[in-house]
Amino acid sequence: MLSNTYGLVTTQAADAIAAMVLGAPYAVQEISDAPLSPEAAQRWVGTYQFGERAPVPRMKMRVAEDRGRLTLEPDFAQMAPSALLPVADGTFIVRSYWMELKFDAEPNAAAEALTLFGARAERIE
């Protein structure tokens, strides 16, 4: 499977198609585009910063909310803003890149950090 965009969706699709052809089990990820409640959305809103060992050291990412929909806004010019699609409480898909983003938060509390690219970004605002 080929693609002219950077993202993981082609790998996931190729794996699923191969599993179908081979009769092997495969997972179907449940993703929603429904807006979150204002309270739920506010748990994740903020600015997060990666450390020195991240793929883009010290990069900041702002999570913004508009009518219950979240957007990831990186301060890295090569990475465009993207919608966040809810998968589970605290877990989202970054729509433009089809990558999983997970927030680190206690139940019913604001997020302390997020994980993306296998790297942790601490909430700074």
Interatomic CA distance for residues 111 and 90, integer angstroms: 8
Mind listing the pLDDT tens digit for each residue in 31-54?
778 899 988 999 999 999 999 988
Residue 108: what pLDDT?
87
* Domain co-membership, 64 together with 87: yes
Q: What's the whole-number mean pLDDT along residues 4-14?
A: 62
Share of the chain above pLDDT 90, in %: 55
* Domain co-membership, 60 together with 19: no
Nearest in space to 47 (alpha carbons), one of 56, 66, 60: 60
Among 13-17, 32-36, 107-111, which is the least confidently predicted range?
13-17
Interatomic CA distance for residues 1 and 62, integer angstroms: 32
Nearest in space to 103 (alpha carbons), one of 95, 93, 113: 113
* Domain co-membership, 75 together with 118: yes
The token pair that represents 45 in the structure block? 């809103």
For the chain, the domain total comes to 2
Mean residue pLDDT of the chain comes to: 88
Instruction: Give the global pTM.
Output: 0.81
Return the bridge partners of 94, or none. Answer: 84, 99
The token pair that represents 53 in the structure block? 């060992």
* Domain co-membership, 18 together with 42: no
Mind listing the pLDDT tens digit for each residue in 69-101?
999 999 988 888 999 999 988 999 999 888 899
* Domain co-membership, 35 together with 24: no
The token pair that represents 1 in the structure block? 């499977």
Residue-number span of the structural domain to which 3 is assigned? 1-29
Residue 8: what pLDDT?
56
Per-residue pLDDT at 56 exceeds 60 = yes
